[in-house]
Amino acid sequence: MSTEPHNIEELVKQLAAKLMEKGWMLATAESCTGGMIAAACTDLAGSSQWFDRGFVTYSNEAKTEMLGVPAELIAKHGAVSEEVVRAMAEGAIRHSRAQVSIAVTGIAGPGGGSKEKPVGTVWVGWCVDGNTLTNCLHLDGGRATIRTSTLTNALQYLLHRI
């Protein structure tokens, strides 16, 4: 396999190999991608060996109910924030049997942006064996492009952290 995957399928294959090598499971917690990361993972035959579950937590209530993200945290920082994506990544671990999680929350557009958080602002969080990392992406393009770029970035980053 190449070190720089050329497409999502190749990224998923490489991620699957690394997770199976370690005996780890993956869980996803998705807002702006609406399950695209989980879908890409489960498109690969045999994914039940390394993919545990996906949470689509599009609403703030879902983030709180399904992942345990405190409502006060969302009220204070907004759903699209480092604090919330960290809580989502950690909540996905707590509410699954995974050792690794990916969480995403962002503004895919075309509306919903602000001066402080314009369309294309996406927070990604990864929890890998107890360590949580976050990154803010500033993506260009329309809704579909932003969502696909979020998916690709999230998988690439995780692949390089395992």
The model's pLDDT over 42-93, given as tens digits with 9 standing for 90+, comes to 999 999 999 999 999 999 999 999 999 999 999 999 999 999 999 999 999 9
pLDDT for 6 equals 58
Beta-bridge partner residues of 135: 124
Best CA proximity match to 53, nearest among 70, 32, 39: 39
pLDDT for 47 equals 98
Q: Kindly give, in sequence order, each residue whose CB lies less than 8 Å from that of residue 130, ignoring residues fewer than 6 positions away.
A: none
The model's confidence at residue 22, banded by pLDDT at 50, 70 and 90, is very high
Question: In order of start, what are the domains of the chain with their CATH numbers?
Answer: 8-161 (3.90.950.20)
Order the strands of the 100-106 sheet from edge to edge.
51-56, 26-30, 100-106, 121-128, 131-138
Please report, as a single letter, which amino acid is at residue 69.
Answer: V
* Averaged pLDDT, 103-108: 98
pLDDT for 135 equals 98
* Averaged pLDDT, 15-43: 98
pLDDT in tens, 114-162: 999 999 999 999 999 999 999 999 999 999 999 999 999 999 999 999 9
d(CA 45, CA 24): 17
pTM for this entry: 0.95
Burial class for 149, CB neighbours closer than 10 Å (0-12, 13-18, 19+): middle
pLDDT for 2 equals 38
